[in-house]
């Protein structure tokens, strides 16, 4: 079976999505760092947008929940008139 993470993002250097995600999580948080760590995007350059998309996805997943869902309205009702 092939998981989506086994899919090759960079065909030139044969770098999979899983390898790239691991590298991002290990601290390679921009294209240049990913290129150095994995060898991705060192050929034709076609995978650049995919690398940027993975970086954005990972950054969003690790971002603090600022501006996220509001706290439950029930919380504000505590102590209110019955």
State the number of CA atoms in the 13 A half-sphere of 56 facing the CB.
Answer: 6
Q: How far is the CB of 9 from ligand FES (least distance, A)?
A: 7
| Interaction of residue 14 with ligand FES, rule CB under 6 A | no
Do 54 and 20 form a contact (C-beta atoms < 8 A)?
A: yes
| Interaction of residue 31 with ligand FES, rule CB under 6 A | no
Helix axes 31-38, 17-25, angle to 10 degrees: 120
Report the 10 Å Cβ neighbour count for 68.
8
Decide whether 49 or 66 has the Cβ nearer to ligand FES.
49
Q: How far is the CB of 61 from ligand FES (least distance, A)?
A: 23
Residues binding ligand FES (CB under 6 A): 10-13, 40-47
């Amino acid at each position: 079976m092939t998981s989506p993470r086994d899919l090759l993002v960079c065909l030139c250097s044969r770098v999979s999505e899983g390898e790239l995600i691991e590298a991002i999580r290990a601290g390679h948080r921009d294209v240049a760092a990913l290129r150095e760590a994995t060898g991705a995007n060192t050929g034709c350059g076609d995978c650049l947008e995919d690398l940027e998309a993975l970086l954005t996805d990972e950054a969003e997943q690790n971002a603090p929940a600022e501006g996220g869902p509001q706290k439950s309205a029930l919380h504000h009702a505590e102590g209110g008139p019955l």
